[in-house]
Amino acid sequence: MQISLKETAAELKAKQRIVITAHVNPDGDAIGSSLGLAHALRALGKDVQVFIDDDIPAAFSVLPGYELIGKPVDGQNIPADLLVAVDVSLDRIGRVAELCTAPVLNIDHHVTNDGQADKLYLDGKAAAAAEIIYQLIGELGVNGNRDMAMCLYMGLATDTGWFRFSNATPKTMLAAADLLAWGAEPNLISEALEQRPFAEVQSLAVGMQKIELLAGGRVAGACLDYATMQEYDAPEGLIGMVRVIEGVDIAFTLKEKEPNLCRVSLRSKGLDVTKIALQFGGGGHVRAAGCTIEKNCAEARTDLINAIMQVLEAES
Ligand code: 5GP
Ligand code: MN
C-alpha cells in the first residue's frame, strides 16, 4: 500500500525498535540514506540498528555511524517492531528479508519499485533516497546535525553524479544547501570516494581498452569476462568513461563477477534503460539502471546487446 510522507513519519514515530536496511551491492545513496535515517531516529530516542547484507566499501568510513552497520549472519534473528527498507525493493535486501520478520516500511525513489512492502512511500522524482530522508526529517520535526548531513549529502551527491545529472532538481539543490548549513563537508566526502587503489586505477585502462562501439556509435559498452575480473580489480568508474563518449546514448558495462554471473550497469542520455534492465529482472531509473544475467560473459553480452537493439529500434 502506498502511503504519504506524513503517514511515513507517523509510522516511524509509532514504533520503538527499528531496523533499517538497503540494497545489496550498496552505493552511496543506500548507505547514506540508511545512516542518515538512523541518526534522525536515534535523535527521537528510538532503538535503531542498520543491517545491510553485503560488505560496505571502506571509502564510506567517512560517514558517521559507518562502524555500526551490521552484516547479518545465517540463522540470526533480527528482532524489530519495524523494518525500514530504503533505496530498494524487497527483492534486493538479501538475507535481511528472512532474518527480520517485522512489518516492512519501504522508502524508495526507483520507478521500478515492485510495491511488495506492507507500506511504501515512493517518490520517483526524488533524485536520491537521501532526498526523501531529508524531507522526512523535516516531517518528523527533528533538528538536523552534522551526522545526518554527512550521510544524506553522500546520497544526494553520488546519485546525481555530483549534481550533474538530469535528476538533480531545485528541491535537490535546496536540500543540499540545507545539509551544508547542518555541517556537511562535501570535500571530505568527495576525497574519500576519489581515492582508489593503484591496481584499480590501472584496471581502468584495461576496461577502457575493451570498450566497443555498436549501432553506429549510439551504443557503447565494455564486457569483462571472469578471467579478466580475476586478474584486475574491476573499476567502479568504468561506466562513467563509457558514458562520456561522444554520440553515445546507451552505455553499458558487463562484469562477470562469478562464473556465469554477470552484473550489468546501464546509463543513457535519453532512452529509458529500465526497459532493458527489467527484461533481465533488474530495475533502476530511466537514465541509470542495472541487472544481473546468469550466463557467461559472451552469452550475456549477446542477450544484452539484443535487448538494447530492440529498445533502440522501438524508439526509432
Ligand atoms: P548501478 O549501475 O550503479 O549498479 O545501478 C544503477 C541504478 O540501477 C541504481 O539506482 C540501482 O539501484 C539500480 N539497479 C542496479 N542493479 C539493479 C538490479 O539488479 N535490480 C534493480 N531493481 N535495480 C538495480
Ligand atoms: Mn538511490
- Residue of the nearest CA to atom 11 in ligand 1? 284
Give the position, in ligand 1's atom list, of the atom nearest the Cα of 91.
22
Test site for ligand 1: of 285, 292, 294, 304, most ligand atoms within 8 A of the Cβ: 285
Three-class secondary structure of residue 9 per DSSP = helix
Distance CA 5, CA 296 (A): 43
- Residue of the nearest CA to atom 12 in ligand 1? 284
What residues have their beta carbon closer than 5 A to ion ligand 2?
Answer: 29, 87, 128-129, 159
Q: How far is the CA of 231 from the centre of ligand 2 (A)?
A: 30
CA distances from 113 to 148, 262, 271 (A): 25, 22, 19
Domains, the chain, in order of start with CATH, read 5-193 (3.90.1640.10), 198-315 (3.10.310.30)
Distance CA 104, CA 195 (A): 36
Distance CA 298, CA 276 (A): 18
261 neighbors 292 (Cβ within 8 angstroms)? yes
69-97: pLDDT as tens digits: 999 999 999 999 999 999 999 999 999 99
Q: Which residues, other chains included, contact 211 with Cβ-Cβ below 8 Å and sequence gap of 6+?
A: 220, 221, 222, 241, 242, 245
Helices and strands, counts by H and E, the chain: 12, 12
Test site for ligand 1: of 265, 274, 293, most ligand atoms within 8 A of the Cβ: 265
Tell me, what's the pLDDT at 245? Answer: 97
All three cell numbers of 166, joined, read 538530469
254 neighbors 300 (Cβ within 8 angstroms)? yes
Give the position, in ligand 1's atom list, of the atom nearest the Cα of 239.
2
Tell me, what's the pLDDT at 10? Answer: 98
Residue 104 bridge partners (DSSP)? 83
Whether residue 288 is predicted with pLDDT greater than 80 in this model: the reply is yes
Average pLDDT of the residues of the chain: 96
Q: Is residue 242 classed exposed, middle or buried when 0-12, 13-18 and 19+ CB atoms within 10 A define those classes?
A: buried
Q: What is the mean pLDDT of residues 109-137?
A: 98
Whether residue 234 is predicted with pLDDT greater than 80 in this model: the reply is no
Whether residue 12 is predicted with pLDDT greater than 90 in this model: the reply is yes
Q: Which residues, other chains included, contact 164 with Cβ-Cβ below 8 Å and sequence gap of 6+?
A: none
- Residue of the nearest CA to atom 7 in ligand 1? 289
All three cell numbers of 268, joined, read 543513457
167-222: pLDDT as tens digits: 999 999 999 999 999 999 999 999 999 998 888 888 999 999 999 999 999 999 99
Whether residue 233 is predicted with pLDDT greater than 80 in this model: the reply is no
Distance CA 270, CA 248 (A): 10
Nearest to 151 by CA among 302, 272, 27: 27
H or E, element range at 155: helix 146-159
H or E, element range at 267: strand 261-268
Residue 221 bridge partners (DSSP)? 212, 252
29-47: pLDDT as tens digits: 999 999 999 999 999 999 9
